[in-house]
Amino acid sequence: MQVVHTVADLRATREALGASVGFVPTMGALHEGHLSLIRQSVAENDATIVSVYVNPTQFDNPADLERYPATLAQDVVLAEKAGADMVFAPNYAEMYPDDFHYRLDETDFSRMLCGAHRPGHFTGVLTVVMKLLNIVSPAAAYFGEKDYQQFQLIRGMAAAFFMDVDIKFGPTVREEDGLALSSRNVNLDAQARAQAPLMHALIDSDRSDDEIREQLTTAGFEVDYIVSHDGRRFAAAKLGGVRLIDNVPLGESS
């Protein structure tokens, strides 16, 4: 497997990978959720490229960026075991030669849910994903259901700009106790880790959004939102200083 760090090197070797290239963009600290997307891409394409880039423009909190785990060497090993053919691991200067003077905004759904609580977050997300898709030129790109708002915005962006890429998502991968896998979970201390699954248990229940907010607050969560929207219930809350997000389809009981 190849590891490249520049756009020039990726483009120099991209054509040799085949006509159907799948792409899994990540911020590293790979876990089973990422690996399931890589395996999905491997099964559906001639070759798979994984990007590992902690994108600073999508962090509204500098402390969160500083705490984000950086494990590139381990990520490369895991990506190769999952079947990836290339890891693209650029730095800021490579991704933002314009120093983020040019950026991409969505003016509706990105202002809701996470966007309402993290100003500028989705501008950073959409800008870097647009750049990555233009660099890699994949036939398909894969995103996790846990970040469902992000997936919807990226799919909408690709459609709005007539991008020749199929935006796909894989199901949320969870721990046995229901906690959605996230790179940030490593920052949970033992007490917070024991409490964290409560959020999924409640949003997947027949309780109302307000009831869930109240119960989580009582349990020590700092709730950003519990919102039922367009057939899904979305949740975001901080626990022990770590921000957790999740969503579930609304069933008949919900």
3-state DSSP of 23-41 = EEEECCCCCHHHHHHHHHH
Is 233 part of a structural domain of the chain? yes
Task: Please tell me whether residues 126 and 191 are part of one structural domain.
Answer: no
The token pair that represents 179 in the structure block: 């906690």
How large a percentage of the chain has pLDDT more than 90? 96
Largest CA distance in the chain: 56
Give the model confidence (pLDDT) of 108-163 as tens digits.
999 999 999 999 999 999 999 999 999 999 999 999 999 999 999 999 999 999 99
Task: Please tell me whether residues 147 and 195 are part of one structural domain.
Answer: no
Task: Please tell me whether residues 166 and 197 are part of one structural domain.
Answer: no
pLDDT band at 103 (very low <50, low <70, confident <90, very high): very high
Number of domains observed in the structure of the chain = 2
Give the CATH number of the domain where residue 69 resides. 3.40.50.620
Is 90 part of a structural domain of the chain? yes
Confidence at residue 19, expressed as pLDDT on a 0 to 100 scale = 83
Task: Please tell me whether residues 154 and 209 are part of one structural domain.
Answer: no
Does residue 73 have a pLDDT over 50? yes
Is 111 part of a structural domain of the chain? yes
Neighbours of 7 (CB within 10 A): 18
Is 242 part of a structural domain of the chain? yes
Does residue 107 have a pLDDT over 80? yes
Give the CATH number of the domain where residue 216 resides. 3.30.1300.10
Is 148 part of a structural domain of the chain? yes
Is 194 part of a structural domain of the chain? yes
Confidence at residue 252, expressed as pLDDT on a 0 to 100 scale = 47
Q: What mean pLDDT do residues 223-246 have?
A: 97
Q: Is 216 strand, coil or helix?
A: helix
Is 31 part of a structural domain of the chain? yes
Task: Please tell me whether residues 84 and 125 are part of one structural domain.
Answer: yes
Confidence at residue 44, expressed as pLDDT on a 0 to 100 scale = 98
The token pair that represents 91 in the structure block: 């730095």
Task: Please tell me whether residues 67 and 191 are part of one structural domain.
Answer: no
The token pair that represents 122 in the structure block: 């989705």
Q: Are 33 and 181 in contact (CB under 8 A)?
A: yes
The C-alpha atoms of residue 240 and residue 222 are separated, in whole angstroms, by: 9
Structure-token match 């020749």, residue found: 164
Strand ranges of the sheet holding 242-249, from the earlier edge strand across to the other edge: 222-229, 232-239, 242-249
Weakest-pLDDT range from 15-24, 141-150, 202-211:
15-24
Q: Are 116 and 227 in contact (CB under 8 A)?
A: no
Confidence at residue 251, expressed as pLDDT on a 0 to 100 scale = 77
Is 118 part of a structural domain of the chain? yes
CA distances in angstroms from 5 to 87, 94, 98, 99, 138, listed in the order given: 8, 8, 18, 18, 18
pTM: 0.94
The C-alpha atoms of residue 138 and residue 165 are separated, in whole angstroms, by: 6
Q: Is 91 strand, coil or helix?
A: coil
Q: What mean pLDDT do residues 94-99 have?
A: 98
Active site residues: 34
Task: Please tell me whether residues 38 and 85 are part of one structural domain.
Answer: yes
Domain range for 79: 2-170
